[in-house]
Amino acid sequence: MTETLFTENQYRAYQERVDKYIQAAAKSLDIPRKVLQADATEYKASKRPKPADPRRETMMSLEGFNNTPHLEPTTFYLTLSHDAALIPKDVEAISGDNLLADSVMAQTDNVIQDAEKIIFGGDTATANIGIVAAGTASSVAIGAGSDSDLTAYGDFINAINKHLATIPSRLREMGVGVNIYMTQGMYLQLTTNTNTTTGETEFDAVKNAFMSPSTDPSMRVNKIIATNALLGSTTPSTSNQVMVTLIPDPSIVEVAVSRGVGIIGEEEHATSYEVHTGWKGAGCVKDASGVIYSTAVTCTNAGL
């Protein structure tokens, strides 16, 4: 049995707080998870190429099918994000069961936020591409076809239609709908655009058009989620707002994890405890045609 420095109650209180924070703060939870062997550094999976058109015949024949696309093996590389905290021994009696939860959550928060950036934005140092760059680029062309600042009422309806139309119908008709992720500034723009006649915000219009019970499953938006993690480590500004539309199905995209958020190491010093928290994983796109990301646009009323 591995010797530990803290009590069972202290570990439990810490993990309960971590789990609660993840539910509130992590924006990637609706993407299917693939749990790997502990501390695995890569995930070997299969990418799915576009299938050939079906053949129409009076009788089945296998002749000529030798060049039919097969699953393509690929390797996704995982990134470890970790942080550390020093806990003075003289505070142990004061904090009691909440010692770890009170002392290490700031560092754990950093790890959770960084994990989201890795999932969406990748990490070049570990050849981890991330979800956004591995998808298919598409503008949010409005009207005549030029990119819009999305400030006019109706622009988001058109932008979502553009993304849905870019995803092949064979994928949309899987019936699982799509999730839309957008930077926080773009989300603020969505809730700001208003119909001057009715007073309805464009967010309400989007919900009516794409998120109502009567919406066709192939055009359905499950959720609209605001997160600047789409930009990776880039600082958000009014000029780099982006939108990602994806089908949350494991044949399309997954988050591979070989270490969940938590304590990954601890060491005792003369007057303190050193505690390391971490996470290890990657965002993995298996079918890029089911993950669409917009070229960056300027949202002039983004509220940034």
- Residue 144 has what pLDDT? 43
Is 302 inside any structural domain?
no
Percentage of residues in the chain with pLDDT exceeding 90?
A: 67
- Calpha distance 22→261 (Å, rounded): 9
Q: What separation, in Å, do the N-terminal and C-terminal C-alpha atoms of the chain show?
A: 51
Is 153 inside any structural domain?
yes
Same domain, 78 and 179: no
Question: Among candidates 41, 136, 38, which has minimal Cα distance to 79?
Answer: 41
Question: Among candidates 187, 263, 267, 271, which has minimal Cα distance to 228?
Answer: 187
CATH of the domain at 276: 3.30.2400.30
- Residue 298 has what pLDDT? 81
Angle (CA) 32 262 17, round 5°: 90
Is 54 inside any structural domain?
no
- Written as one letter, the residue type at 217 is P
pTM equals: 0.89
Q: What is the pLDDT of residues 207-229, one digit of tens each?
A: 999 999 999 999 999 999 999 99
- Residue 304 has what pLDDT? 57
Is 67 inside any structural domain?
no
Same domain, 86 and 110: yes
Count up the domains in the chain and report the number: 2
Q: Is the pLDDT of residue 172 over 70?
A: yes
- Calpha distance 31→250 (Å, rounded): 8
Distances (CA, A) of 294 to 12, 114, 157, 207: 42, 22, 14, 20
* 90 or 82: which leads in pLDDT: 82
Mean pLDDT score, 254-266: 96
Mean residue pLDDT of the chain comes to: 88
- Calpha distance 146→126 (Å, rounded): 36
Is 3 inside any structural domain?
no
CATH of the domain at 153: 3.30.2320.10
At 80 the three-state DSSP class reads strand
- Residue 295 has what pLDDT? 81
> Residue 3 burial (CB < 10 Å; 0-12/13-18/19+)?
exposed
- Residue 296 has what pLDDT? 83
Token pair recorded at residue 90 = 């003289």
Domain that holds residue 93: 8-48+73-125+252-282
- Residue 143 has what pLDDT? 43
Same domain, 223 and 266: no
Least confident of 61-65, 190-194, 216-220: 61-65
Same domain, 197 and 114: no
Same domain, 18 and 114: yes
CA–chain centroid gap for 157, Å, is 22
Is 301 inside any structural domain?
no
Q: What is the pLDDT of residues 8-55, one digit of tens each?
A: 999 999 999 999 999 989 999 999 999 999 999 999 998 766 666 676
Tell me the pLDDT band of 150, cut-offs 50, 70 and 90.
confident
> Given the structure tokens 């010692």, which residue do they identify?
99
Same domain, 118 and 257: yes
Is 68 inside any structural domain?
no
Same domain, 31 and 90: yes
Same domain, 92 and 160: no
- Residue 302 has what pLDDT? 54
Same domain, 12 and 121: yes
* 228 or 1: which leads in pLDDT: 228
Cβ neighbours for 299, distance < 8 A, ≥ 6 positions apart: 149, 150, 151, 185, 186, 188, 189, 238, 241
Sequence-ordered alpha helix ranges (H) in the chain: 8-25, 92-95, 99-121, 131-134, 155-166, 169-172, 184-192, 202-210
Same domain, 145 and 205: yes
- Calpha distance 15→261 (Å, rounded): 9
